[in-house]
Amino acid sequence: MPPPGGSIPPGSGTGEYASTSQNPLPRALRLLKTQLTLAVGLREEDPERAWLEAVSVREKIDTLAEGAASDPLLKADVERFRFKLEESLRKLTRDVGDEVIAPLYSWVDLVRQRARLDGEVETAKSRVAEARASRGAPDNVASLASEEQATAALEAAERDLAAWQADVPPEPTTEATAVWAEFGGDDRLRRAMPADGGVVRSRGAAARMLLEGAQGRPLGESKYVGSVAEFLVLPSIGAAALLSSMLAFARSGPHVFLSAVSVVACGSFGAAIVASVQSRRRMVAERRAALDLVWHHTMYNEQARTLDLEVGWLRALQAALRARRAFDSHKGEGGQLAELAKWRPDLEAVVSEVAKSSLAPPSL
């Protein structure tokens, strides 16, 4: 016991008390107990609502029991309430009678079916939106509200898929793939490459033509550029051209041979410079062409795969919208659901709560 006028130090309570005071589940259990008491009290005045409220409590108690598994006191309290709930529900079902419960069972089942169809439609829409976002296409999934709109979108996507699949180029060569990896691969190059399909296709076709005769050798490499031969040839020919030119201009009188040697030496020096420049340009062009070649295949292959996925989900969306339309137009399903809603519009929210609390999410 604390001293007179004192207080219990923080954290000195028992573990059960501390866990109960910090756990929101006891309050939820109290609310369920209150809801059951109100449901039993409505048995004579409104048997339909009484039964629905009791069923709603039963649907919620399972979730509450899972959360209370780690608290022995709360778990025991939940189990006692569950036993009382089952007894009350059996008595309520017996007192209310099948003639009252049968249409309510049907109503809840129809709402579950309709909600499941809505879930399938929304799942298909979200997957279509994800596929379009992954290939950079505009997201207009919100406009796919009817079976006709989904059918039109499916036909357009199938045409696009056929076009992309027809344009997917062959696998790039090993040499081109090596250059792509050398520059950092997808992580570094993807954002730097063009995103327009027409530009990618034209650049890829030009790259394929450029590299057609380069199979079997590393791309962007030259045995001459930067070699010992280049460093010997250019200075030697340059010196010869300079020396012959100086001698030709220094001598007076006719000197046809020396002039001819000077012209040949200068021409050879110019040709050597052009050869070095062209070799370097060819190296750069081959490396750029290798990137275009790999990106052409990568982009078109990805677009075709993503469009194929989008087409599949558009087909699923079309089927889900067709099933929902059939449900709504069928007299035994959509028609009966509308009639039950007209019969007791005040119970519509309770029926939806009961139906959705035990409705499993749609499979993805």
What is the domain partition of the chain in residue ranges?
15-137+330-357, 145-318
Highest mean pLDDT among 58-67, 146-155, 181-190, 348-357: 146-155
Pairwise CA distance, residues 350 & 361, whole Å: 19
**What is the pLDDT, as a whole number, of residue 155?**
93
pLDDT band at 242 (very low <50, low <70, confident <90, very high): low
Residue 181 has pLDDT above 70, yes or no: yes
How many Å from the N-terminal Cα to the C-terminal Cα in the chain?
58
The least confident of 14-18, 83-87, 152-156 is 14-18
Q: For the chain, what is the largest distance between any 2 Cα atoms, rounded to a whole number of angstroms?
A: 137
pLDDT band at 156 (very low <50, low <70, confident <90, very high): very high
Burial of 166 per CB tally in 10 Å (0-12, 13-18, 19+): exposed
**What is the pLDDT, as a whole number, of residue 345?**
87
- Under 8 Å between Cβ of 48 and 347: yes
Mean pLDDT rounded to a whole number for the chain: 77
Pairwise CA distance, residues 261 & 257, whole Å: 6
Q: What angle (nearest 5°) sits at the alpha carbon of residue 128, between those of residues 122 and 130?
A: 105
**What is the pLDDT, as a whole number, of residue 29?**
85
- Taking the model in full, what pTM does it have? 0.63
Pairwise CA distance, residues 119 & 141, whole Å: 15
Pairwise CA distance, residues 187 & 204, whole Å: 20
Distances (CA, A) of 340 to 65, 124, 304, 327, 359: 33, 29, 48, 15, 20
**What is the pLDDT, as a whole number, of residue 247?**
57
Residue 308 has pLDDT above 90, yes or no: yes
Residue 12 has pLDDT above 60, yes or no: no
DSSP 8-state secondary structure symbol assigned to residue 253 = S
pLDDT band at 288 (very low <50, low <70, confident <90, very high): confident
**What is the pLDDT, as a whole number, of residue 363?**
43
Which H/E stretch holds residue 361? none
Share of the chain above pLDDT 90, in %: 15
Highest mean pLDDT among 42-51, 95-104, 297-306: 297-306
The least confident of 143-152, 286-295, 319-328 is 286-295
**What is the pLDDT, as a whole number, of residue 9?**
44
Residue 105 has pLDDT above 80, yes or no: yes
